[in-house]
Amino acid sequence: MNKTWLVAKQEYQRHVFTRRFLFGLLSVPFFMLILIGLIFMIISMNNNTTPLGYIDQSGLLAHPQPAPPVTPPEKSVPLRAFADETAARQALQAGEIQGYYLIPMDYRSSRKLQAVYLKAIKPFPRQYFYNFLEVNMLAGVDASISKRIMAGDEIIARSLDGSRQMSSKNGWFGLFLPIIAALGFMIAMFTAGGYLMNAVVEEKENRTMEVLLTSISPNQFMSGKIIADILIGLTQILAWLVVIIIAIRLASSRFPFLQGIQVSPQLILLCLVILLPTFVMVSALMALIGATVSDAREGQQMTGLISLPVWIPYMLVALIIENPNSPLAMVLSLLPFTSSLTMLIRQGVTILPAWQIALSSIIVVVCAITATWLAGRAFRLGMLRYGKRLRWREIFQRKAGAA
């Protein structure tokens, strides 16, 4: 087997088959479970299945049509008609209903309602009642038109050449999926990068590197490490993806909106042409840090120099979403450290110009190649400097191979 692959295999196995890695891997499903639990809790907090009363003075509900079915079924609530307000009030005080609505005579023109309750009516029963009113307002209208009005509009924005489009029906998921994907990618990137940096520092500290270098070249060593780093990160991402897909499958029976989730081809394209080179760039920079510092603690401090700029788009997420084609968003899309996150955030809210995707990709690929070259150079110069840090100036000044 090629020695680069031997290094990659050893590095991969050394980090992936450990309790620490498995813990990191399982922590995501664990937090997802907590998140799902929270969602259920919020749903139950927003719901109250005690009947809801109404007094119709407008005649709108003389022959009531039932409200459209909702999912999950617990979000629906039994509706009870009262002849007058006295009866409704008595039922409320007896705890038979959670509240009641008084529909005045001029409701059709004013659309004003009175709600009477002891404790505020929860959002789901309230929405259910509004839907019930809407259905009955449209009672005389043709069924297909009524259904169409209830469904609302879908606005599809297309690029001029027709190659890309985005739909308003993507909703919050279309906006948040790229951000969540980027977040997962960044976590995996920095976790794996952290492993790589620590491994290089450790091999320097415990002199393993000295033994290795009598068997392999520095380039084989460094390439093997970076390949392993990427594979570790991808393993993490793949495992999380599997868990997320299973979770969505399981949850979609209760949350129908999850059934329509689609990953846009553009998101996949961005992952391949921008996120992947960013991963290589960060891995190489982590290796570079490992080769230049004298101990692991110093390395962790220096990691901040890389991680801070990467997170800048998250700090500016509101500005980017509000104006995704602003000069700020465009500049951040082209800078190698910020491009991944910015492009993914923008992808959810605008149509990205093809030239920006191409230019951003070229810049980050060039940076990844340069970082890998620098890491190799720093490694050759700093690999056996025990307890002494390699200065950045030396990386650029000294002749290659003059370690």
Partner 1 sequence: MSAVEVTHITKTFGSLRAVDDASFSIEKGELFGLLGPNGAGKTTAIRCMLDIFKPDSGTVAILGGVMDEAKKALIGYMPEERGLYQDITLERCLNYLGSLKGLNQAQVKKNAGIYLERFDLLAYKGKKVKELSKGMQQKAQIIATLLHQPELLIVDEPFSGLDPINTQLVKDLLREQHQQGVTIILCSHQMNLVEELCERIVLIDHGRALLYGDLHEIRQRFSGHAVVVDTHDRLPALPGIEQVERFNSSYKLTLSPSLQPQEVLKALVQADVNLEGFRIATPSLDEIFIRVVREEAG
Q: Provide, rounded to whole angstroms, the least separation between the CB of residue 403 and partner 1.
A: 6
CA distance 110 to 143: 24
Q: Provide, rounded to whole angstroms, the least separation between the CB of residue 70 and partner 1.
A: 54
Helix/strand/coil for 341 = helix
CA distance 113 to 60: 13
Considering the complex, state which of residue 332 and residue 381 has its C-beta at the smaller distance from partner 1. 381
> For residue 349, which phi and psi values (nearest 5 degrees)?
-125, -5
Considering the complex, state which of residue 134 and residue 394 has its C-beta at the smaller distance from partner 1. 394
Q: Would you tell me which residues interact with partner 1 (CB under 8 A)?
A: 1, 3, 6-7, 10, 14, 206-217, 383-384, 401-403
Token pair recorded at residue 204: 């320097």
Q: Provide, rounded to whole angstroms, the least separation between the CB of residue 208 and partner 1.
A: 4
Considering the complex, state which of residue 3 and residue 80 has its C-beta at the smaller distance from partner 1. 3
Q: Provide, rounded to whole angstroms, the least separation between the CB of residue 14 and partner 1.
A: 6
Considering the complex, state which of residue 122 and residue 204 has its C-beta at the smaller distance from partner 1. 204
Q: Provide, rounded to whole angstroms, the least separation between the CB of residue 309 and partner 1.
A: 32
Q: Provide, rounded to whole angstroms, the least separation between the CB of residue 385 and partner 1.
A: 9
Token pair recorded at residue 191: 């976790």
First to last CA, the chain: 28
Considering the complex, state which of residue 180 and residue 216 has its C-beta at the smaller distance from partner 1. 216
Q: Provide, rounded to whole angstroms, the least separation between the CB of residue 388 and partner 1.
A: 9
Q: Provide, rounded to whole angstroms, the least separation between the CB of residue 203 and partner 1.
A: 8
Half-sphere exposure of 93 (CA within 13 A, CB side): 6
Residue 39 belongs to what H/E stretch? Answer: helix 19-45
Token pair recorded at residue 271: 């992952």
Of the candidates 288, 306, 293, 283, the one whose C-alpha atom is nearest the C-alpha of residue 226 is: 283
Considering the complex, state which of residue 6 and residue 258 has its C-beta at the smaller distance from partner 1. 6
Contact 98, 121 (CB under 8 A): yes
CA distance 86 to 39: 38
Whose tokens are 């890389």? That residue is 306
Whose tokens are 């392999």? That residue is 216
Contact 333, 195 (CB under 8 A): no
CA distance 69 to 76: 7
Q: Provide, rounded to whole angstroms, the least separation between the CB of residue 213 and partner 1.
A: 5
DSSP state letter for 80: E
Of the candidates 28, 385, 383, the one whose C-alpha atom is nearest the C-alpha of residue 216 is: 383
CA distance 240 to 341: 19
Contact 193, 283 (CB under 8 A): yes
DSSP state letter for 170: G
CA distance 7 to 216: 9
Q: Provide, rounded to whole angstroms, the least separation between the CB of residue 257 and partner 1.
A: 46
Considering the complex, state which of residue 212 and residue 230 has its C-beta at the smaller distance from partner 1. 212
> For residue 79, which phi and psi values (nearest 5 degrees)?
-105, 140
Considering the complex, state which of residue 1 and residue 318 has its C-beta at the smaller distance from partner 1. 1
Considering the complex, state which of residue 108 and residue 207 has its C-beta at the smaller distance from partner 1. 207
Q: How far is CA 139 from the centre of its chain?
A: 42
Q: Provide, rounded to whole angstroms, the least separation between the CB of residue 217 and partner 1.
A: 6
Considering the complex, state which of residue 213 and residue 332 has its C-beta at the smaller distance from partner 1. 213
Considering the complex, state which of residue 8 and residue 97 has its C-beta at the smaller distance from partner 1. 8
